[in-house]
Structure 1
Amino acid sequence: MNENVPAPGLLTRARLLAAPAVGASVVRDLERITGLPVEQGFSGAPPQEPFICVGAALPEELRGGPLVWFHSVNAGTDALLSAGPWPSGALLTRTVGRMGERIAQYVLAWVLADCQSVPGFAAAHARAEWRRVPSELASGQTAVVYGTGRIGSSVAGLLRACGIRTVGVGRAPGAERAGFDRVVTADDDTASLASARWVVSTLPLTPATAGFFGAERFAGMGGATFVNVGRGATVDMRALEDGLRSGAVGRAVLDVLPVEPAAPDDPCWRLPRTVVTSHSAGITADEDIVTDFAACWDALAAGRVPATAVDVVRGY
């Protein structure tokens, strides 16, 4: 058994805490799933007895207590892990739910909008300008998707269903991954980037991915549209701007930014041929939190590592 997986008996004896922002319906479901009363909100000294916590952030005062398991209501856990050393021995799980499906549909929507010149038609409408523009077929073209996990695979699967060739960039080359025609490593992505019509990032933020998309990668895109649904800080924004202005990057769709929310004077709003969608591609629903927490609870009760467990060393 993984050392961070608590014994089933410990779960039923633990206190169950939930952040104040966790909705009332979710709290009721947490109590139904566990049979434990939920204590919502917390202040003061950390509990002396083992406890479970559900929320978006782990308050500093709780990091010193005997935390057994923290379930994040978000898919990304970089903010949790960067806030300080993770409590020794504590399990961390995250909420994915139907996020892969939501994000995949978001990406497909922008891919098709690209092919049908939707941004151009919207601009022409605003100018009351009649201009015919031929459409472009998505099928037969190539999308390179960075990240071959649950979200990346969902994106690739939906694009592939539309006849788009999908190349995944992951840690293991050539490995079978759902939704991908081929998988390469980040050290071997040059040819794939050059042939891509769309480059999609689903990367988490870790020490290895900070600033991952820099001048070299953007310069290597042959006019591809760049779509970021991963984490904003994986992108060097100055390098992206240079790529857009040189034409190496044809368009950009940014659901995430290094600093959020973006202020009105943030340079991102003035990037050419770019749309910012305010971190809306895969908003977590209450049902996602409940479904994934229940799956984790069932796995732990059976002594298994939950599918959404996070490796706190790797950061995902």
Structure 2
Amino acid sequence: MIEKILVTGRLFDVMQSLLASKLDKELRFLSEDRVSESDLKWADAFVSFRPTANFQFENIKWVHSLGAGVDSFLNNRAWKRDVILSRTICSFGQKISEYCLSYILRDLQLHEVFQKLKESKVIKTFEPLAISTQKIVVFGTGSIGQEVARHFRFFGAQVMGVSLSGLQKDPFNQVVPIHKVSGSLQDANWVINTLPLTLKTNKLFTCDLFKHLNKACFINVGRGASVDEYSLLTALDNKNLRLAVLDVLENEPLAHDSPLWERPEIIITPHISAITSPEEAVNCFLDTLKNVDQERFPLINQVEIDKGY
């Protein structure tokens, strides 16, 4: 039974107002810079987007991430095996699907072409492409990847999934293991990365992978460190890629002197494809707390520590 809950991170004050009088627990709501060693020793549950700089397990039994990604909790840290780690699962799949859809439609419906023609006061006809003509390769076949596949299958696209295991899953037309993906990339129109960051996915997207593409488009809504940025630029130079949409970057915010800024074929957004709303964060937290207290293990959103997701 969880009794003492420490909530920190950017939503701590909003969560305090939303959780008022909803829990018969001891709660502390603190900004990250105010979390002390004594606070960590006091708590048996830690709730945040990431660990604080002074994070130690102390007496903590359960850590809950307010985001979908948990790499900040697991990387460079020996996880205490009796501590449960859970993550927020809400409408991320829906939001990320809409984000990807917006950029794919922007491209297929020739928005940029027609805008430039308007600026030149020229009327000229070009035929847009339908989503049903596209082959979309989605790296990651978890809840988010499945939702992305479901949306694009609805429009008639051929959607291939890529995972470590290659286990077949609906709604993908087909799933292949990562080590066999090269033969499936030559005719891909779009590659979408939804993978979490683990030791196996760190710098997964390199020249060795990009070289199998032919004027494809790449969308990264997974983790920035999954992509080697030099390899991405090389792939654009070599026409393996013609467009890259990056919502996540290895270093956020992106440095002013990064060459990524200078490339017209690269679109950069500030990690907004799936923002956790306060209401979703609270609802997922409350549902998970109830399941932890009732020992309903494994939790639907419980992280497998060895896998990293």
Question: What is the aligned partner in structure 2 of residue 240 from structure 1?
Answer: 232
Greater RCO structure (CA 8 Å; 6+ sep):
1
1:53 and 2:46 matched: yes
Question: What is the aligned partner in structure 2 of residue 16 from structure 1?
Answer: 5
* Residue 37 of structure 1: how far off its partner (Å): 3.1
* Residue 262 of structure 1: how far off its partner (Å): 1.1
In 2, the alpha carbon distance for the partners of 1:158 and 1:169 equals 17
Q: Deviations over 1:194-246 (max 9, x none)?
A: 12111110011111111101102111012111111101111111111111112
Question: What is the aligned partner in structure 1 of residue 255 from structure 2?
Answer: 263
Mark the runs of 5 or more structure 2 residues left unpaired by the alignment: none
In 1, the alpha carbon distance for the partners of 2:163 and 2:90 equals 22
Distance 1:238 1:47, change over 3 A: closer
1:38 and 2:27 matched: yes
Give % identity.
Answer: 30
Task: Please give the secondary structure, in 2, of the residue aligned with 1:189.
Answer: helix
Question: What is the aligned partner in structure 1 of residue 165 from structure 2?
Answer: 172
Question: What is the aligned partner in structure 1 of residue 286 from structure 2?
Answer: 294
Deviates more, 1:182-191 or 1:118-127: 118-127
Conservation of the 8 A alpha-carbon contact between 1:158 and 1:179 = no
Question: What is the aligned partner in structure 2 of residue 149 from structure 1?
Answer: 142
Deviates more, 1:25-34 or 1:70-79: 25-34
Conservation of the 8 A alpha-carbon contact between 1:99 and 1:282 = yes
Question: What is the aligned partner in structure 1 of residue 173 from structure 2?
Answer: 181
Q: Deviations over 1:126-158 (max 9, x none)?
A: 566655432112113210000000110111100
Question: What is the aligned partner in structure 2 of residue 118 from structure 1?
Answer: 111
TM-score (norm 2): 0.91
Between the two proteins, the alignment pairs up a number of residues equal to 304
Distance 1:312 1:200, change over 3 A: same
Q: How does 1:129-140 map to 2 (within 5 A)?
A: 130-140=123-133
Q: Of 185, 204, 209, which aligns to 2:201? A: 209
Question: What is the aligned partner in structure 2 of residue 67 from structure 1?
Answer: 60
Distance 1:237 1:122, change over 3 A: farther
In 1, the alpha carbon distance for the partners of 2:39 and 2:224 equals 33
In 2, the alpha carbon distance for the partners of 1:262 and 1:120 equals 28
Letter in 1 for 2:80: P
Task: Please give the secondary structure, in 2, of the residue aligned with 1:113.
Answer: helix
Q: Deviations over 1:11-64 (max 9, x none)?
A: 2xx211111633444224445554213211232435545511111222354414
In 2, the alpha carbon distance for the partners of 1:205 and 1:140 equals 31
Letter in 1 for 2:61: V
Distance 1:122 1:233, change over 3 A: farther
Mark the runs of 5 or more structure 1 residues left unpaired by the alignment: 1-9
Conservation of the 8 A alpha-carbon contact between 1:100 and 1:152 = yes
In 1, the alpha carbon distance for the partners of 2:76 and 2:122 equals 51
Conservation of the 8 A alpha-carbon contact between 1:46 and 1:62 = no
In 2, the alpha carbon distance for the partners of 1:301 and 1:245 equals 54
Deviates more, 1:117-126 or 1:215-224: 117-126
